């Protein structure tokens, strides 16, 4: 009897946390919108220091919003209530949508984006989840790039390969020597990283399966600019 009561309380508490996260996400969206208007006003007035300072705040707020969305998605996936919808999509449209959601953040840092994707490139996947992985990859690239990010998509050996590359210093050797998920299971108190983005992205790619094959997530250095490369492969 006591065990059943405890289980019911835990489930109710989990639902309560998910509801609270949803409210925080909505509130954060309103704040980001207000900050973007304020930053635009600073730019129009020629107040570059304030404009750049607000850009960093808006980046952090967008990153936090992305984390909240990832938490909600993981909650729904864990309870098997996420409406998974794996259908055929044009990759260029998905990339464009992710960039539109992230464009204001990129503009603050003056980052140049290049895209290499054939308009005829189509593949089967859950659109919202893959956009979430793309935005997570852009968050990482934004943090480490000098001023350029490259997004490339192609179909090779029966897999869709989607890459987000930057011209920063690249991933540290300690991460490259280990599986990227193993390297991010813990919490890094020096930079506040919890590994949530990698965990979410890895969960998304592995839920995309075709017969005995499943998706994979790879980090490496190199690519077009010789910096960090975030690589997602879907069967």
* Alpha carbons 41 and 34: distance in angstroms, whole number: 11
Query: Taking the domains of the chain in order of start, what are their residue ranges?
Result: 2-78, 86-234
* Alpha carbons 129 and 94: distance in angstroms, whole number: 11
Rg (CA), the chain: 19
Q: Which residue has the tokens 């192609």?
A: 154
CATH 3.30.565.10 fits 86-234, yes or no: yes
Q: Is the pTM of this model over 0.75?
A: yes
pLDDT in tens, the chain (235 residues): 555 555 555 557 777 787 888 888 888 889 888 998 999 899 899 998 898 888 889 888 888 888 899 898 898 888 888 888 899 999 999 999 999 988 888 888 889 999 999 999 999 999 999 999 999 999 989 988 999 999 999 999 999 999 999 999 998 887 776 655 554 554 443 444 558 888 999 999 999 999 889 999 999 999 999 999 999 999 9
């Amino acid at each position: 009897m006591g065990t059943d009561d405890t289980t019911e309380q835990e489930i109710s508490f989990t639902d309560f946390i998910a509801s609270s996260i949803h409210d925080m996400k909505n509130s954060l969206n309103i704040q980001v919108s207000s900050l973007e208007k304020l930053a635009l006003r600073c730019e129009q007035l020629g107040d570059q220091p304030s404009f750049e300072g607000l850009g960093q705040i808006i980046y952090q707020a967008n990153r936090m919003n992305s984390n909240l969305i990832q938490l909600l998605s993981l909650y729904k996936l864990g309870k098997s209530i996420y409406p998974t919808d794996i259908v055929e999509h044009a990759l260029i449209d998905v990339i464009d949508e992710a960039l539109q959601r992230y464009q204001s953040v990129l503009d603050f840092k003056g980052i140049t984006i290049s895209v290499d994707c054939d308009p005829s490139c189509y593949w089967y996947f859950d659109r919202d989840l893959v956009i979430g992985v793309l935005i997570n990859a852009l968050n990482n690239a934004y943090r480490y790039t000098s001023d350029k990010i490259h997004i490339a998509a192609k179909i090779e050996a029966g897999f869709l390969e989607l890459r987000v590359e930057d011209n920063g210093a690249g991933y540290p050797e300690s991460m490259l020597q280990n599986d990227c998920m193993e390297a991010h299971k813990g919490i890094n108190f020096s930079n506040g990283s919890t590994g949530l983005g990698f965990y979410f992205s890895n969960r998304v790619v592995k839920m995309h399966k075709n017969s005995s094959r499943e998706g994979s997530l790879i980090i490496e250095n190199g690519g077009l600019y010789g910096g960090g490369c975030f690589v997602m492969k879907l069967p």
